[in-house]
Amino acid sequence: MNDEPTDLLAKGDPRLLLLPLARAAVPGCTAVHNARRLTGGANQETWALDAETEAGAVPLILRRARGGTLQRSTGIGLDAEALVIRTAYGNGVPAPEVLHVLSAGDGLGKGFVMRRMAGETIPRKILQGDAFSAIRPRLAGDCGKALAAIHAVPTDGLDRLERFTPLSRVEWLHAHYRATEQVSPVFAYAFAWLRAHAPDAPEKPALVHGDFRNGNLMIAPDGISAVLDWENAHLGDPAEDLGWFCVPSWRFGNLDKPAGGFGTREDLLAGYGAAGGCIPSPDRLRFWEAYGSLYWGVVCARSVDEFRGGADPSVERAMIARRASETELDLLRLIAPRR
Q: Which residues bind another protein (CB under 8 A)?
A: 39, 183-189, 191-193, 196, 248, 251, 253-255, 314-316, 318-319, 322-323, 325-326, 328-330, 332-333, 336, 338-339
Minimum distance between the CB of residue 99 and another protein, rounded to whole angstroms?
Answer: 29
Minimum distance between the CB of residue 85 and another protein, rounded to whole angstroms?
Answer: 28
Which CB sits closer to another protein, 160 or 322?
Answer: 322
Helices (runs of H) and strands (runs of E) counted in the chain: 13, 9
Which CB sits closer to another protein, 49 or 190?
Answer: 190
Rg, C-alpha atoms of the chain: 20
Minimum distance between the CB of residue 333 and another protein, rounded to whole angstroms?
Answer: 6
Q: What are phi and psi of 190, to 5 degrees?
A: -65, -40
Minimum distance between the CB of residue 46 and another protein, rounded to whole angstroms?
Answer: 15
Instruction: Give residue 73's identity as a one-letter amino acid code.
Output: S
Exposed, middle or buried: residue 40 (CB in 10 Å: 0-12, 13-18, 19+)?
Answer: exposed
- Which helix (H) or strand (E) segment holds residue 180: the answer is helix 166-180
Exposed, middle or buried: residue 279 (CB in 10 Å: 0-12, 13-18, 19+)?
Answer: middle
Q: Which residues contact 275 (CB under 8 A, 6 or more apart)?
A: 144, 145, 148, 149
Which CB sits closer to another protein, 71 or 214?
Answer: 214
Cβ atoms of 110 and 205 closer than 8 Å: no
Q: What are phi and psi of 140, to 5 degrees?
A: -65, -45
Which CB sits closer to another protein, 68 or 292?
Answer: 292
Which CB sits closer to another protein, 115 or 323?
Answer: 323
Which CB sits closer to another protein, 132 or 193?
Answer: 193
Q: Would you give the DSSP letter of residue 96?
A: P
Which CB sits closer to another protein, 33 or 195?
Answer: 195
Minimum distance between the CB of residue 324 and another protein, rounded to whole angstroms?
Answer: 8
Closest Cα to residue 229, out of 103, 74, 100, 92? 74
Minimum distance between the CB of residue 255 and another protein, rounded to whole angstroms?
Answer: 5
- Sign for the CA dihedral angle at 276, 168, 110, 59 comes to positive
Minimum distance between the CB of residue 113 and another protein, rounded to whole angstroms?
Answer: 25
CA torsion, points 91, 93, 95, 99, in degrees to nearest 10? 10
Minimum distance between the CB of residue 191 and another protein, rounded to whole angstroms?
Answer: 6
Which CB sits closer to another protein, 240 or 330?
Answer: 330
